[in-house]
Amino acid sequence: MARYPDIPKYKLKQASVAPELSGGGVGPYPFVIVGSGPIGLAIALDLARKGHHVTLLAAFDFIARGSKSICVAKQSLDFFDRLGIGQRLLEKGVIWNVGKLFWQGNPDPVYQFDMLPVRNQKNPGFIKIQQYYVEEYLLEALEAMDNVDIRWGNGVTGIEVNSDSATLSVASDAGDYQLESRFVLACDGSNSHIREAMGLSFEGRVFEDNFLIADIKFTGPNAERRPSERWFWFDPPFCPGGTALLHKQPDSVWRLDFQLGWNIDREAVIKPENVEPLVRGMLGANVEFAQEWYSVYTFQCRRMDRFVHGPVIFAGDSAHLVSPFGARGANGGLSDAENIAWKLDMVLRQTAPLSLLETYDVERAMGADENILNSSRSTDFMTPKNEQSRAFRNAVLELSSEHEFVRPFINSGRLSMPTPYHGSPLSTADVDDWKGGPQPGHPCVDAPVHDTDKHAWLLRQLGDQFKLLHFGPNAPETELPVIQVGDDEVAVERYDARYGATYLIRPDQVVAARWKRASHAAISEAYQRAIGNRQ
Ligand SMILES: Cc1cc2nc3c(=O)[nH]c(=O)nc-3n(C[C@H](O)[C@H](O)[C@H](O)COP(=O)(O)OP(=O)(O)OC[C@H]3O[C@@H](n4cnc5c(N)ncnc54)[C@H](O)[C@@H]3O)c2cc1C
């Protein structure tokens, strides 16, 4: 394969010949997705499962290998469950709930944290799995459907945007062509060609630091017996003045990450003879391993001003970028995906107004800002910019093993959580007195429930359509499907529903409204607001 020689390949795909070039029926299309990364594929699968015909343009004709995301957060697993691939990921991935922080040469952690403080939910806090498996599972689910057209080796080279459609120029081995689409979902990654062609800004901060990733495979005995915890070091003896990170992945592959500073020879540091001492420094002189992939990355925190530009909607890395610390890149992009997919579905079916799409911009801007804020703070803690900041950081680390109150200041990457949509135009504010439970704009929390005497999970039952979640015997009158929960203690507790309660849940399992005693009129009004009809 001559194209993209620098990109390692996991699975090759057959380059596609577009119907535009083979005389088949052509657009205008209702929507076209650009990009076959996790975000483009997730949107594609969500919309395909909702019954839409999906056209996806992929510049590559392969799934890339290399070292990209590995940490999949609970909220993404919940989304993957709704897409039908959650269980497969869970079975392949390494479950991860515990993180440990080390300082200098001390073999005991200065601090340990739990990724899933609320137990008794279907999914763990995180799993770790190579990004190419995520893409592969999404793709296999898409390939099993007959309403999906994935065009491998069809890269977008230009775009012309009108008020209610866009025309894409596409290059492929079989020839160049144009296609017109009512909506374009630009999921074409951090160097988004579409963003550039439209002359849109991508403001933010570049961090002057280099990180070496050594993905290695343990080849010696007892490889699988190492704990699947995340270990993070500040200023360890094997990487003085820097930080280091260790993660377990499936197939006995481990990710080692070393902070190397700004002025380095990027080609020299990835030579096996230079990586090996770092690996042995971290894991012990006698460790037996083989190289999977070595690379150096730098990072930036940036975002577009707006994610919706008429018919063109940006999602994932094309819209916002963060550092890998905190695992907020793909997880944040997947929150974009679930947010835009149900809204576009309803707009295309004409069951919600076009203005609903604007609320994607409002809600996901909150997500991007939160992710960028956390990512920047972690980086500032990990790489103090002056002596004062370094003295503060070291004092925090020194005191943290003894004093609990300083531990919240330690920041090795605040790990990805769903962003609550405070003040979303789609939410109806509480009027009743609540002592707990997810507020409007917050994600639903999982709980074990009974389903005709079987053990089941609440989130699973809520599915991916608007639903009414009712606790107690007499569900209010409504046209919406109702999930009724009886005396399941944990669910009742988590939703503050001891004396009955009703929640209106969106397709992305965000609470739209809730009542202690709901009326038909209140539910109808909240539903209209939640689909963008009352802003
Ligand atoms: C070292 C590292 C570790 C990371 N770890 C994590 C982690 O643990 N957890 C996490 O959540 N995130 C992590 N991330 C971030 C994560 O990898 C990205 O956020 C994620 O890949 C974004 O997905 P995407 O689909 O938006 O973009 P991409 O994955 O970049 O996909 C973009 C796709 O668009 C295609 N494309 C580009 N241009 C065109 C065009 N003109 N026409 C057609 N197709 C085009 C590309 O071929 C590609 O397939 C990490 C990143 C790095 C670098």
* Residue 205: predicted pLDDT: 87
**Closest residue by Cα to residue 134 from 60, 36, 208:** 36
CA atoms within 13 A of residue 489's CA, in its CB half-sphere:
1
Note the pLDDT tens digit of each residue in 232-242: 999 999 999 89
Bridge-based pairing state of the strands 54-58 and 148-152: parallel
The tokens describing 443, both together, are 């994600």
Q: How far apart are CA 216 and CA 286, in angstroms?
A: 14
The tokens describing 227, both together, are 């704990």
Distance from the CA of 40 to the center of ligand 1, in angstroms?
10
* Residue 453: predicted pLDDT: 64
Ligand 1 atom 6: the closest Cα is on which residue? 69
The tokens describing 275, both together, are 């990586």
The tokens describing 235, both together, are 């200023």
Q: How far apart are CA 396 and CA 217, in angstroms?
A: 34
CA 5 to chain centre: 28
Distance from the CA of 68 to the center of ligand 1, in angstroms?
8
For every residue of 424-491, DSSP letters joined together read: -TTPPPP-S--SSSPPTTSBP---EEEETTEEEEHHHHHTTS-EEEEESS-PPP-SS-EEEE-S-HHH
193 lines ligand 1 (CB under 6 A): yes
Q: How far apart are CA 376 and CA 509, in angstroms?
A: 28
* Residue 223: predicted pLDDT: 63
59 lines ligand 1 (CB under 6 A): yes
Ligand 1 atom 27: the closest Cα is on which residue? 189
The answer to whether the beta carbons of residues 337 and 287 sit under 8 Å apart is: no
* pLDDT mean over 396-424: 84
Ligand 1 atom 52: the closest Cα is on which residue? 68
Bridge-based pairing state of the strands 166-172 and 175-186: antiparallel
**Closest residue by Cα to residue 504 from 487, 486, 529:** 529
Q: How far apart are CA 254 and CA 294, in angstroms?
A: 12
The answer to whether the beta carbons of residues 29 and 179 sit under 8 Å apart is: yes
Rg (CA), the chain: 24
Single-letter residue type at 383? T
Note the pLDDT tens digit of each residue in 31-47: 999 999 999 999 999 99
End-to-end CA separation in angstroms for the chain: 52
- Locate the ligand 1 atom nearest the alpha carbon of residue 331 and give its number: 11
70 lines ligand 1 (CB under 6 A): yes
The answer to whether the beta carbons of residues 130 and 136 sit under 8 Å apart is: no
Distance from the CA of 39 to the center of ligand 1, in angstroms?
8
Point out the least confidently predicted range of 246-255, 308-317, 337-346. Answer: 246-255
**Closest residue by Cα to residue 183 from 360, 20, 329:** 360
Point out the least confidently predicted range of 34-38, 219-223, 482-486. Answer: 219-223
68 lines ligand 1 (CB under 6 A): yes
- Supply the angle between the helices 329-348 and 356-382 in degrees, to the nearest 10: 180
* Residue 224: predicted pLDDT: 59
Confidence of residue 382 (pLDDT cuts 50, 70, 90): confident
Q: How far apart are CA 68 and CA 243, in angstroms?
A: 19
321 lines ligand 1 (CB under 6 A): no
Distance from the CA of 534 to the center of ligand 1, in angstroms?
36
Distance from the CA of 318 to the center of ligand 1, in angstroms?
9
Q: How far apart are CA 458 and CA 446, in angstroms?
A: 6
Q: How far apart are CA 32 and CA 491, in angstroms?
A: 40
> By three-state DSSP, how is residue 195 classified?
helix
Higher pLDDT, 400 or 433: 433
* Partners of 101 in beta bridges: 111, 232
Q: What is the DSSP letter of 408?
A: G
The answer to whether the beta carbons of residues 357 and 347 sit under 8 Å apart is: yes
Task: Work out the percent of the chain whose per-residue pLDDT is above 70.
Answer: 98
Backbone phi and psi for residue 429, each to the nearest 5 degrees, phi listed first: -65, 150
* Partners of 9 in beta bridges: 64
Distance from the CA of 52 to the center of ligand 1, in angstroms?
24
Bridge-based pairing state of the strands 94-96 and 71-73: unpaired
Residue 123 has pLDDT above 70, yes or no: yes
Ligand 1 atom 2: the closest Cα is on which residue? 68
Backbone phi and psi for residue 149, each to the nearest 5 degrees, phi listed first: -120, 100
Ligand 1 pocket test: which of 32, 69, 307 has the largest number of ligand atoms within 8 Å of its C-beta?
A: 69
Ligand 1 atom 1: the closest Cα is on which residue? 68
Ligand 1 atom 31: the closest Cα is on which residue? 37
36 lines ligand 1 (CB under 6 A): yes
Residue 11 has pLDDT above 60, yes or no: yes
Angstrom distances, CA of residue 210 to CA of 263, 286, 394: 8, 27, 22
Note the pLDDT tens digit of each residue in 427-467: 999 999 999 999 999 999 999 998 776 789 999 999 999 99
* Residue 222: predicted pLDDT: 66
Ligand 1 pocket test: which of 193, 210, 317 has the largest number of ligand atoms within 8 Å of its C-beta?
A: 317
> By three-state DSSP, how is residue 296 classified?
strand
The total number of residues written for the chain in this structure: 535
* pLDDT mean over 376-383: 82
60 lines ligand 1 (CB under 6 A): yes
Q: Which residues contact 349 (CB under 8 A, 6 or more apart)?
A: none
Q: How far apart are CA 171 and CA 156, in angstroms?
A: 6
326 lines ligand 1 (CB under 6 A): no
Average model confidence (pLDDT) across the chain: 92
Distance from the CA of 535 to the center of ligand 1, in angstroms?
34
Ligand 1 pocket test: which of 16, 46, 60, 131 has the largest number of ligand atoms within 8 Å of its C-beta?
A: 131
- Locate the ligand 1 atom nearest the alpha carbon of residue 71 and give its number: 8
**Closest residue by Cα to residue 421 from 453, 395, 443, 405:** 443
Task: Work out the percent of the chain whose per-residue pLDDT is above 90.
Answer: 74
- Locate the ligand 1 atom nearest the alpha carbon of residue 76 and give its number: 11
Distance from the CA of 423 to the center of ligand 1, in angstroms?
30
Residue 2 has pLDDT above 60, yes or no: no
Q: What is the DSSP letter of 72?
A: E
151 lines ligand 1 (CB under 6 A): no
* Residue 114: predicted pLDDT: 79
* Residue 1: predicted pLDDT: 45
- Locate the ligand 1 atom nearest the alpha carbon of residue 318 and give its number: 26
* Partners of 178 in beta bridges: 169
* Residue 58: predicted pLDDT: 98
For every residue of 15-40, DSSP letters joined together read: PPPPHHHHT-----EEEEEE--SHHH
The answer to whether the beta carbons of residues 420 and 437 sit under 8 Å apart is: no
* pLDDT mean over 7-17: 94
Q: Which residues contact 314 (CB under 8 A, 6 or more apart)?
A: 186, 187, 192, 194, 195, 304, 307, 308
- Locate the ligand 1 atom nearest the alpha carbon of residue 154 and give its number: 43
- Locate the ligand 1 atom nearest the alpha carbon of residue 39 and give its number: 25
Q: How far apart are CA 439 and CA 441, in angstroms?
A: 6
Q: How far apart are CA 255 and CA 297, in angstroms?
A: 14
153 lines ligand 1 (CB under 6 A): no
* pLDDT mean over 281-286: 91
410 lines ligand 1 (CB under 6 A): no
* Partners of 359 in beta bridges: none
37 lines ligand 1 (CB under 6 A): yes
Distance from the CA of 8 to the center of ligand 1, in angstroms?
14
